[in-house]
Amino acid sequence: MATRPLILAPAGNRASFLAALAAGADAVYCGLKSYSARAEAKNFTIPELAALTELAHRKGMRVHAAFNAMLTTGDLLRAAGLMKDLVRTVQPDALIVQDLAMIDLARQNGFAGEIHLSTLANAGFSGSLDWIRRQLAVDQVVVPRELDIDEIRAMAAACPDGLGLEVFIHGALCYSVSGRCYWSSFLGGKSGLRGRCVQPCRRQYQQRNRPQRHFSCMDLSHDVLVKVLRTVPEVKTWKIEGRKKGPHYVYYTVMAYRMLRDEGHDSQKKREALQLLEQSLGRPTTHYRFLPQRPQIPLQPETPTGSGLMVGIVKGTAQNPYISPRQPLLAGDVLRVGYEDDAGHTIVRVRKPIARNGRLNFKPGRRGGGGHQMPVFLTDRREPGLNRLLEDLETELRAIPEPQAGNQPGGLRLPAAVRFKKGPARDMVVMRAATRSGGRGAKGLWVSPQTVQKTSPKAMASVWWWLSPVLWPASEADTAHLVARLLKDGARQFVLNAPWQAGFFERPEDLQLWAGPFCNLANPLALAALKQAGFAGAFVSPELGSEAFLELPRISPLPLGMVLTGMWPLCLSRVISDTIDTRHPFASPRGEEAWARRYDDNIWIFPNWRLDLSDQRQQLEKAGYQWLAHLQEPVPKTVKLKPRQGLWNWNIGLK
């Protein structure tokens, strides 16, 4: 039976919000100036969002507020104040959250709407859903973009009462699995989990003297295939990505998917919808993995994958560049010349109409060079018809007074801290293969058929078993079988790299379940949620700076561990380009090398230097850390590790 899911539109600025309203979106999602996973978008103040929400509600459109950044302890008080203002003034219909602390903050400050778990939380296997609903009482889960329709159906079949699914149908694809990307943070201190990603995957990387954009993905577009999603009633929402996009993109994509949802049986309407998507100013598109019988790799390094519609290349000289567009340009159009890492990159605003194959002169970019032969992308457009619609809505909006922002502190009750004896921390060496000795300290092993098979029953109870940071429905049954075998053979100590992996264990109270470092834990409220769920301890996020690292044990409700040394991945992905040879390293323009390795269903990308906080060991032990983990990784013979400090964000702090 076909259902009628909501179409959820993105809005990173006022004009895009109004465009979603003009296009007839059922709901819009947007973020505040702080604690949103798209910090580079303009986003909204609370008074501005309050007036927009009032207008949306008058017209029957829901508003979902994205409060989906990872929080440190130092963020909690301000986040609580913003939450209180949001609840009092804006009254959104739903909150989108990544950090478990946000669920507690919302309830402490009286939020009574729906809670949606962000795709950054990485809940991508069926067994996670019952645990999430039971332990967190969320109303909707945003599933990973990597799922195919059979995997979505499997998750839908596992949905408990009261829980719905939200599925991305269109927009940008990250190379990494959401919530498992540390690339931007590791190279420059700007965390994707806090909305500050500088998109290093979009840059050129060189392998065997051939620079290409090996990791720059095409855009996702399910287009006419969305009809299949209508047969899955648990899919409550179709989500369009694009909070950094302009109103043209928002209007065209919403209009297209409304046609495909409501009039998809009409062949003429389907053609019109596809034309709208072609004109929406996105990248070349792919169905990605949606059809399991015809999966597509969204990586085509030879294809320009800059954001926007490619309209030509730069001609002329370095001092006097110009564009001869393949299609007419309108006054107000915004063009991006090249990619952000290109020397000739610049933004061009079109002042007057330019005919197809006409000539538009522009000033060279500040970094030198006119970018000869560089691609040019149309990234935003304000055609007269859309402008009139937005102006009419602006007139209505001006009649709605913006409330004053509150300045009272929000509700913030921290959990009681655990008391423990301070002293030397224990070491845990985490390996890929079961060997007789892993060096000093306790042994940790990644769960795999090989490690389970090669570990003797006598050793099972002494090993700490680490589950993969990303589990997919396709490997869920195998993982459940391995966990059951481990439990039968006496294993009692597990490190779970997503909280909902606790769903594999019927009696967690009989075990030592620790949350792993890939759970991205950085504050006591998130830790308290895991304590309530039966966790015995947690390894905190390795992204933290020194101040956050040293403060957390003092106020934590759980015993803590952290990753002291080892090979930490830049990201995990489900795909890799055919142009990357996993036997050899690749290098960034700055000479930073990395390599790729497949483990089970995932591709791990590693840098060629180790995380190493060994010199900080004494401070960390004094702060109260109980476990210090060392992640060992077999390094290919072709990769030469660099002798770098490996401090990550210790000195610069998490941004």
**The predicted structure's pLDDT at residue 491:** 97
Q: Which domain holds residue 37?
A: 6-173+218-281
Contacts of residue 384, defined as CB under 8 A and 6 or more positions apart, other chains included, come to none
Q: Cα Rg for the chain, rounded, in angstroms?
A: 25
Q: Stretch 501-510: mean pLDDT, rounded?
A: 93
Reported as a pLDDT band with limits 50, 70 and 90, residue 421 is confident
User: 77 and 27: one domain?
Assistant: yes
Paired tokens of 586: 């690749």
Among candidate residues 177, 183, 127, the one with its CA nearest the CA of residue 151:
127
User: 247 and 333: one domain?
Assistant: no
Residue 572 lies in a domain: no
User: Checking phi first, is residue 366 left (phi over 0); if not, alpha (psi -120 to 50) or beta?
Assistant: alpha
User: 242 and 350: one domain?
Assistant: no
Residue 350 near residue 360 (C-beta atoms within 8 A)? yes
Residue tagged 């207008």 (tokens): 55
User: 322 and 268: one domain?
Assistant: no
CATH code for position 12: 3.20.20.70
Residue 573 lies in a domain: no
Is pLDDT above 60 for 401?
yes
Buried-state track 146-168, b at ≥16 Cβ within 10 A, e below 16: bbbbebbbbbbebbeeebbbbbb
**The predicted structure's pLDDT at residue 438:** 55
- Mean pLDDT, the chain, whole residue set: 94
Instruction: Specify the range with the lowest mean pLDDT, choosing from 25-39, 76-90, 519-533, 540-554.
Output: 25-39
User: 142 and 224: one domain?
Assistant: yes
Residue 151 near residue 235 (C-beta atoms within 8 A)? no
- pLDDT digit string, tens, across residues 472-489: 999 999 999 999 999 999
* pLDDT, greater one: 374 or 392: 392
Would you call 7 helix, strand, or coil by DSSP?
A: strand
Domain stops at, among 520, 544, 565: 565
Q: Stretch 176-201: mean pLDDT, rounded?
A: 94
Residue 164 near residue 140 (C-beta atoms within 8 A)? yes
- pLDDT digit string, tens, across residues 543-577: 999 999 999 999 999 999 999 999 999 999 999 99
**The predicted structure's pLDDT at residue 553:** 96
Among candidate residues 540, 537, 543, the one with its CA nearest the CA of residue 557:
537
Is pLDDT above 80 for 37?
no
Structural domain count of the chain: 3
Contacts of residue 135, defined as CB under 8 A and 6 or more positions apart, other chains included, come to 499, 502, 529, 532, 533
